Structure 1
């Protein structure tokens, strides 16, 4: 039996709904073998650049969307951005000028770079993957 946890993340006032499907338990099918692992520095000083890597196994990034969410201390989850299987990128408008999400399909890795970090960027950052549905996050 398949159990999918659905997280609905609405960003800004653009009324776009992003649905990230996280596999909690799925004995059968390709999603049951998908694993994501974040890596990067534990601490980044103000004005520096935050660089994170998400290593994906069990599926090709050419057909799998991946992105990032973050959670500041005492606050809820905030959608950061994502890159679709097609390679199209979608960014939180509030972070767009400082944010870059790229990937290397040959290494099965997705990268986040957030420049000029400030205290408001203090958070736990999580790699999220699966099916991303919604309109393009552009005006």
Structure 2
């Protein structure tokens, strides 16, 4: 696997895949895993952008996990909010996802993503990303 930069249009939202993780990580059922992504080319505090995480499980639609706008507004997938936690370090330009109590059904390619779209659509609650 390698770094993947790709645009993906979802609900008039431009999504850029910032990172597809280069190595497989294997955990036993019930364990946790933390993955970090360092962004470049924009600031995590720029409210024109949101940075977050999505996953692609084999044979399933893409799952949106969460994203956070530069101003701090965090949107989460209610079905996954007890499974994953999100943090960001604006000074280091990193965003981190931690999965707890991971199970075989959590096997997926996890993507760090940047989203940008017009102010009129920016804060729609419950916006779900799917392919």
TM range (shorter): 0.7 to 0.9
- Secondary structure of the 1:120 match is helix
Picking from 33, 40, 51, the partner of 2:34 is 51
More strand by share: 1
- The answer to which structure, 1 or 2, has the higher relative contact order (CA under 8 A, 6+ apart) is 2
Q: What residue in structure 2 maps to residue 27 of structure 1?
A: none
Residue in structure 2 matching 1:124, options 97, 104, 109? 109
Matched with 1:36 is: 18
Deviation at 1:130, TM superposition (A): 2.2
* Maintained 8 Å contact 2:29/2:104: yes
Runs (4+) of structure 1 moved beyond 4 Å? Answer: 38-41
Q: Which TM-score applies when normalising by structure 2?
A: 0.74
Q: Which residue of 2 aligns with 1:135?
A: 124
* Long gaps (5+) in structure 2: 1-6, 127-131
Shift of 1:136: 3.0
User: Shift of the alpha carbon at 1:37?
Assistant: 3.2
Where does residue 90 of structure 2 map in the other structure?
A: 105
Equivalenced residues, count: 114
- SS for the counterpart of 1:43 is coil
Q: What do the CA deviations read for 1:17-61 (whole angstroms, capped 9, x no partner)?
A: xx54135xxxxxxxxxxx833557622221111211111001100
User: Any conservation in 1 of the 2:20–2:109 contact (CA below 8 Å)?
Assistant: no
Q: Which runs of 5+ in 1 are unaligned?
A: 9-18, 24-34
